Amino acid sequence: QVMPEAPKGFREHGRASWYGKKFHGRRTANGETYDMFKMTAAHKTLPLPTYARVTNKNNGKSVVVRINDRGPFHPGRIVDLSYAAAARLDLLHVGSAEVELQVITPQQGKSAAESATGKPRYLEVGRFADAIEALALRDRLVALGFNDSELLQTTSPTGDGVDHILRVGPFRSFSRLEAARVKLGVQKITAIPVAD
């Protein structure tokens, strides 16, 4: 039964899964068109739309999504994430994971969900404090046939150092990006789709 309004401070623990290309372009429960590259999700009972922060309990990564669809229809799952949201939580290669879902206000949610949206053109394959580790992985990528890679630098989350981000791309089409992600996954290299 659908809630008339999202309870303040609502939290839920359970399993999250994701849905992607098969549903891209189809109509969602609230009448919008499903876009796998937007930060959206499906929930069985929360009102549409509701904003929520979903945190992957396995790695601590979190993402803000706008719930605009109904589901998941698989037993034991509490939320179905878009491809883009699942990518941010590092769920694509495992399919599902234990998460915490927390309802947030529309004011908190709008800016966070919209700023994170963008069609991915790159695969991020690692973040390293040590540049030597990043270069070693780049050499491994070249050996696997991935010659288009770049090493970026950004301030570390703690603000006291530099992170070296290694990414592959850009990819001209989603099908090529997804094929590369799967190929890297076979080699036990986690590749997260990211926008430019």
Residue type, 95: G
Of 149, 20, 30, 144, the C-alpha closest to 86 is 20
pTM score: 0.71
* DSSP helix/strand/coil, 119: coil
Per-residue DSSP letter, 23: G
- For residue 5, what are the CA distances in angstroms to 31, 57, 78, 171? 19, 26, 17, 41
Q: Provide the β-strand partners of residue 17.
A: 80, 96
Asked if 161 and 129 touch (Cβ cutoff 8 Å), the reply is yes
For every residue of 170-194, DSSP letters joined together read --SSHHHHHHHHHHHHHTT---EEE
> What does each of the 196 residues of the chain score in pLDDT, given as a tens digit?
889 888 888 999 999 999 988 888 899 999 999 988 889 999 999 999 999 999 999 999 999 999 999 999 888 899 999 998 998 898 988 889 999 999 999 988 887 766 666 677 899 999 999 999 999 999 999 999 999 999 999 887 777 888 999 999 999 888 889 899 999 999 999 898 887 7
Asked if 123 and 176 touch (Cβ cutoff 8 Å), the reply is no
